[in-house]
Chains A and B, each alone.
Chain A
Amino acid sequence: MDNIILEMRNITKTFPGVKALQDVNLDVRAGEIHAVVGENGAGKSTLMKVLSGVYPHGSYEGAIRFLGKECRFSGIHDSERVGIVIIHQELALVPLLSIAENIFLGNEQSHYGVIDWNLARRRAGELLRKVGLKEDPDTLITNIGVGKQQLVEIAKALAKKVKLLILDEPTASLSERDSDALLSLLVEFREQGIASILISHKLNEVGKVADRITVLRDGRTIETLEKADISEARIISSMVGRSLDDRFPPRHPKIGEVVFEVNDWVVHHPVHPDRVAIRNVNVNVRRGEVVGIAGLMGSGRTEFAMSVFGRAWGTGISGKVSLHGKPIDVSTVGRAVKHGIAYATEDRKTYGLNLIDHIKHNVTAANLKGVSSAGIIDDMRELNVANDYRKQTNIRSSSVYQVTGNLSGGNQQKVVLSKWLFANPEVLILDEPTRGIDVGAKYEIYTIINRLAEQGKSILMISSEMPELLGVCDRIYVMNEGRIVGELPAAEASQEKIMRMIVRGDDKPDEEEEHKVRTAS
């Protein structure tokens, strides 16, 4: 193996309670495009954060050698100085500054602290030509599209004399044309001797440009494939190859009639109202059924759920929501709750809990009417309710007076669930109900879900963890880019099938379909 510029050896990174990376090895040759693939949570982003110094030397085990030298980065600044530049999934550009100002942010073209604007503009112009972006360096970032912003990020990296460029899901929010332009740029850089690490879910584009692919799974390196060995099937089986053991409680589904139905659901993006975020989604859930929505992050699952739940996300919403075959009005959260719909958020700290208040007040927050009469809260009834749910969902705390901000993630999730259980919904939408919680708490959450289904509730569950969907659901919808790209009974589903639907469903809708969506909205 000659010409290796980057060597990461036996990288192990532990977070409290979780081993995010375990003995991961990665090497990158000079002038190659090296793809890193894996499921959500496989450890790709963590590995890149170790490499770029976001997690400083000493917070992980293992060694990094770059250009033959041992590296001990204490921050992003150190890694950038040696020529390793990372471009994150969420772009780090300041929207109200110009392109030139952004390119040289933190790296200003200055003499003794005074910025030389002419030099900055000229150099920005050169860099923009290199990345093939025809924009005035004085244009504000907010006035250019996401694809162009991505190019500005790359220009910014070039300004730092990059030798190894790391791109974290660079094409996730780009159209196909912009993606192609970006990928050909990487190929161009390869010829100039700049190596890239490309993190992507889109296996077709990885196959197109990558020289080698490293597959991560559960925080370990599974294998590194040479160009000749790259095939979609091989990558997929490598990515998901793990068995379903008894991590899931047994289920005895008793599925009845269709209870909840969403038809022709179209939602536009709240910030860019001309962008269709959810396209003609049709979903139904039966009595006692647990229905999963699979998909990658950013596929529109949360946006779909929140738009159904009282239009909490999006604008220009059209479509029909029915309960027991009758259309219902879910135009506000209050109305949705009144009709028996609940949505337990994926982000419990931001959207789920009042972290400075205790369990008791959080449990009753969505159904204060249930513990009050004529607007006056019955303290004892509230205390009984809170204690009851604390027992039911097995919240581990000193009492119901413990502040929710001090609970562990799993127990916080149980408080969120309790809150919605007390609202007594017929349809429960659970968004990533087990994100960031340990295996034991996950099992408890699954048990609660099973119990609810047995009680005849209809459950719609969004999850990025495919084994979880396979283990808990009766039926699975697959979503990508705001559309349902497949539906299959859990019994027939496999991770490979789902993954294939996601990666194949990447193609943009053809002209005709696009037209239909437009007229429908």
Chain B
Amino acid sequence: MSTETARSALNPERETAQAAIKQNLREYGLVLALVAIMLFFQWQTGGVLFKPVNLTNLVLQNSYIIIMALGMLLVIVGGHIDLSVGSVSGFVGAVAAVLMVQYKLDPVLTTLICIVVGGLIGASQGYWIAYMKIPSFIVTLAGMLVFKGLALWLLGGRSVGPFPPEFQLLSAGFIPDVIGPMTIGDVTLHSTTLLIGVLIVAAMFYLALRSRRARESHGYTAERFGLFVAKNAIIAAMVLFLIYMMASYKGLPNVLIVMGVLIVLFVFVTKRMTIGRRIYAMGGNVKAAALSGIKTERLTFLVFINMGMLAALAGLIFAARLNTATPKAGLGFELDVIAAVFIGGASMAGGVGQVAGAVIGAFIMGVMNNGMSIMGVNIDWQQVIKGLVLLGAVVFDVYNKNKA
């Protein structure tokens, strides 16, 4: 202890740099794992994985899992679990189908109604968990059965579809190329997509620089400039690469826009907003949080409403993607969602977890699904491998924590 303090007094800058790297090691490790897995499948599938059409598919296939993972992250960080999200998303898809196909309701209005329905479902479960102190595992296990059953009843055991074309755009559509296509050599690029990509990267650099300046103006040592530039350049390169791939196919899918906005929003909520901080405080020690004046019951209630709304949105996207609502929709989604959050570094005990981790965790699962399917790995072995990866990721985490 005393030698440690002495060392940090001697070389504070190195100490903070090391601490920063150590702190972010997990997130970097996760990104590296994702990149490694992608490269592995790129090699194993003979270059299919990185084909623009496949990358676009990858996003479309995993969008609903990622959207639910955002809500699930808050649920798990808050010290709870939600097993009902798969059933809820299936049920909401069924509601949408009934409203649009049988009652010919406007797709936009239907979407709004469905999200409100999702919020109400979340509230109905959250009420028992937050105010009646029923364990979330049990409440949402019940919810899982209830909404699976209700979806079956609503659809009368049949598939209902197809949907109006405007609704299908939610999943199958791409943003319009308002600028017009651009041709370089033999590739035609979606230039609006490219422009958006450049703007995103510029915004990222601006924000990173601004927070760096703020640190310095308060007299704190920021990370070394070289490291700072290198880190941001790598992230920018990855974003631009993805954007380029998308642009050389049909441009950005609508879903990706929805997903991107939600991801940014949830990162902001968890990192910068008081409500996000309170969720971490509650998950870390609910008694201490309550004794600090945090309304833990209301917070839990809100977290489940949020989860319900996101599950509804995911249900809509999935239904739009299939262009039909089936009684089997949503089956087992909760497992992928929960796995994504845990692979992303969240702790079962609550209080720990990052939005970025959950998103990358979901992509790890998604890339493995996609890659193994292309390789022709049987579905049985796919399950086994995914299970082992989940176990491995958590073991790695626990091992690291015990070592530190």
Pick from A345, A368, A419: contact of B274, CB under 8 Å: A368
Please give, as numbers and ranges, the residues of chain A lying within 8 Å of B291 by CB-CB distance.
Answer: 309, 312, 333, 343, 345, 351-352
Question: Which residues of A, 195-220, contact B by the 8 Å Cβ criterion?
Answer: none
A336 CA to B288 CA, complexed, in Å? 15
Q: Is A384 an interface residue (CB 8 A)?
A: yes
Please give, as numbers and ranges, the residues of chain A lying within 8 Å of B352 by CB-CB distance.
Answer: 356
A380 x B215 contact (CB < 8 A): yes
A20 to chain B, nearest CB (A): 22
* Nearest chain A residue, comparing its CB with the CB of B278: A368
Q: Is A2 an interface residue (CB 8 A)?
A: no
A377 CA to B214 CA, complexed, in Å? 14
A377 x B273 contact (CB < 8 A): yes
Please give, as numbers and ranges, the residues of chain A lying within 8 Å of B280 by CB-CB distance.
Answer: 354, 357, 361
Q: Which of A62-70, A117-125, A394-402 contacts B (4 or more CB under 8 A)?
A: A394-402
Q: Is A490 an interface residue (CB 8 A)?
A: no
B13 to chain A, nearest CB (A): 12
Q: Is A379 an interface residue (CB 8 A)?
A: yes
Q: Is A372 an interface residue (CB 8 A)?
A: yes
B284 x A383 contact (CB < 8 A): no
A331 CA to B274 CA, complexed, in Å? 23
B211 x A377 contact (CB < 8 A): no
Please give, as numbers and ranges, the residues of chain A lying within 8 Å of B8 by CB-CB distance.
Answer: 398-399
Interface size on A, as a range, is: 35 or more
Q: Is A350 an interface residue (CB 8 A)?
A: yes
A356 x B351 contact (CB < 8 A): yes
A277 CA to B196 CA, complexed, in Å? 66
Please give, as numbers and ranges, the residues of chain A lying within 8 Å of B377 by CB-CB distance.
Answer: none
A361 x B277 contact (CB < 8 A): yes
* Nearest chain B residue, comparing its CB with the CB of A333: B293
Interface of B (DSSP majority class) = helix
* Nearest chain A residue, comparing its CB with the CB of B282: A354
Question: Which residues of B, 240-298, contact A by the 8 Å Cβ criterion?
Answer: 272-275, 277-278, 280-281, 284-285, 287-295
Report which residue of B23, B273, B275 has the largest number of chain A beta carbons within 10 angstroms of its beta carbon: B273
Q: Is A271 an interface residue (CB 8 A)?
A: no
Pick from A372, A383, A399: contact of B16, CB under 8 Å: A399
* Nearest chain B residue, comparing its CB with the CB of A406: B404
A351 CA to B281 CA, complexed, in Å? 12
B79 to chain A, nearest CB (A): 11
Q: Is B166 an interface residue (CB 8 A)?
A: no
The contact string, 1 if C-beta is below 8 Å from chain B, for chain A 477-520, is 00000000000000000000000000000000000000000000
Q: Is A376 an interface residue (CB 8 A)?
A: yes
Pick from B19, B287, B292: contact of A366, CB under 8 Å: B292
Q: Is A355 an interface residue (CB 8 A)?
A: yes
Question: Which residues of A, 342-367, contact B by the 8 Å Cβ criterion?
Answer: 343, 345, 350-357, 361, 365-366
* Nearest chain B residue, comparing its CB with the CB of A373: B274
Q: Is B186 an interface residue (CB 8 A)?
A: no
Please give, as numbers and ranges, the residues of chain A lying within 8 Å of B347 by CB-CB distance.
Answer: 356
Please give, as numbers and ranges, the residues of chain A lying within 8 Å of B16 by CB-CB distance.
Answer: 399
Q: Is A369 an interface residue (CB 8 A)?
A: yes
Please give, as numbers and ranges, the residues of chain B lying within 8 Å of A353 by CB-CB distance.
Answer: 285, 288
A383 CA to B293 CA, complexed, in Å? 21
A398 CA to B3 CA, complexed, in Å? 11
A354 x B295 contact (CB < 8 A): no
Please give, as numbers and ranges, the residues of chain A lying within 8 Å of B218 by CB-CB distance.
Answer: 380, 383-384
Please give, as numbers and ranges, the residues of chain B lying within 8 Å of A332 by CB-CB distance.
Answer: 293, 295
Please give, as numbers and ranges, the residues of chain B lying within 8 Å of A343 by CB-CB distance.
Answer: 291
A165 CA to B168 CA, complexed, in Å? 78
A101 CA to B220 CA, complexed, in Å? 63
Question: Which residues of B, 346-363, contact A by the 8 Å Cβ criterion?
Answer: 347, 351-352
A333 x B292 contact (CB < 8 A): yes
B295 x A377 contact (CB < 8 A): no
B274 x A375 contact (CB < 8 A): yes
Report which residue of B8, B15, B272 has the largest number of chain A beta carbons within 10 angstroms of its beta carbon: B272
Report which residue of A310, A336, A368, A380 has the largest number of chain B beta carbons within 10 angstroms of its beta carbon: A368
Pick from A310, A354, A401: contact of B288, CB under 8 Å: A354
B15 x A351 contact (CB < 8 A): no
A380 x B214 contact (CB < 8 A): yes
A343 CA to B291 CA, complexed, in Å? 8
A354 x B274 contact (CB < 8 A): no
Pick from A350, A383, A384, A419: contact of B287, CB under 8 Å: A350
Please give, as numbers and ranges, the residues of chain B lying within 8 Å of A384 by CB-CB distance.
Answer: 218
Question: Which residues of A, 309-323, contact B by the 8 Å Cβ criterion?
Answer: 309-310, 312
Report which residue of A310, A312, A398 has the largest number of chain B beta carbons within 10 angstroms of its beta carbon: A398
Report which residue of A336, A353, A365 has the largest number of chain B beta carbons within 10 angstroms of its beta carbon: A365
The contact string, 1 if C-beta is below 8 Å from chain A, for chain B 2-24, is 00110010000001100100010
Q: Is A427 an interface residue (CB 8 A)?
A: no
A365 x B211 contact (CB < 8 A): no
* Nearest chain A residue, comparing its CB with the CB of B291: A351
Q: Is A337 an interface residue (CB 8 A)?
A: yes
A312 x B284 contact (CB < 8 A): no
Pick from A334, A336, A354, A379: contact of B285, CB under 8 Å: A354
B293 x A401 contact (CB < 8 A): no
A309 to chain B, nearest CB (A): 8
* Nearest chain B residue, comparing its CB with the CB of A398: B8
A379 x B284 contact (CB < 8 A): no
B4 x A398 contact (CB < 8 A): yes
* Nearest chain B residue, comparing its CB with the CB of A420: B292
B365 to chain A, nearest CB (A): 26
B274 x A372 contact (CB < 8 A): yes
Please give, as numbers and ranges, the residues of chain B lying within 8 Å of A351 by CB-CB distance.
Answer: 287-288, 291
B287 to chain A, nearest CB (A): 5
The contact string, 1 if C-beta is below 8 Å from chain A, for chain B 206-234, is 00000100110010100000000000000
* Nearest chain B residue, comparing its CB with the CB of A336: B293
Please give, as numbers and ranges, the residues of chain B lying within 8 Å of A355 by CB-CB distance.
Answer: 284-285
A356 x B288 contact (CB < 8 A): no
B293 x A366 contact (CB < 8 A): yes
* Nearest chain A residue, comparing its CB with the CB of B347: A356
Please give, as numbers and ranges, the residues of chain A lying within 8 Å of B273 by CB-CB distance.
Answer: 372, 375-377
A32 to chain B, nearest CB (A): 44
A411 to chain B, nearest CB (A): 11
B174 to chain A, nearest CB (A): 33
Chain A to chain B contacts (Cβ below 8 Å), 16 pairs: A332-B295, A334-B293, A337-B292, A343-B291, A354-B281, A354-B288, A356-B351, A357-B284, A361-B280, A361-B281, A365-B294, A375-B273, A376-B272, A376-B273, A379-B211, A398-B15
Residues of B that sit less than 8 Å from A by CB: 4-5, 8, 15-16, 19, 23, 211, 214-215, 218, 220, 272-275, 277-278, 280-281, 284-285, 287-295, 347, 351-352
Residues of A that sit less than 8 Å from B by CB: 309-310, 312, 332-334, 336-338, 343, 345, 350-357, 361, 365-366, 368-369, 372, 375-377, 379-380, 383-384, 396, 398-399, 401, 419
- Given A372-B274, A377-B273, A380-B215, 13 additional A-B pairs, CB 8 A: A350-B288, A351-B291, A352-B288, A352-B291, A354-B280, A356-B285, A366-B292, A375-B274, A396-B5, A398-B8, A398-B15, A399-B15, A399-B16
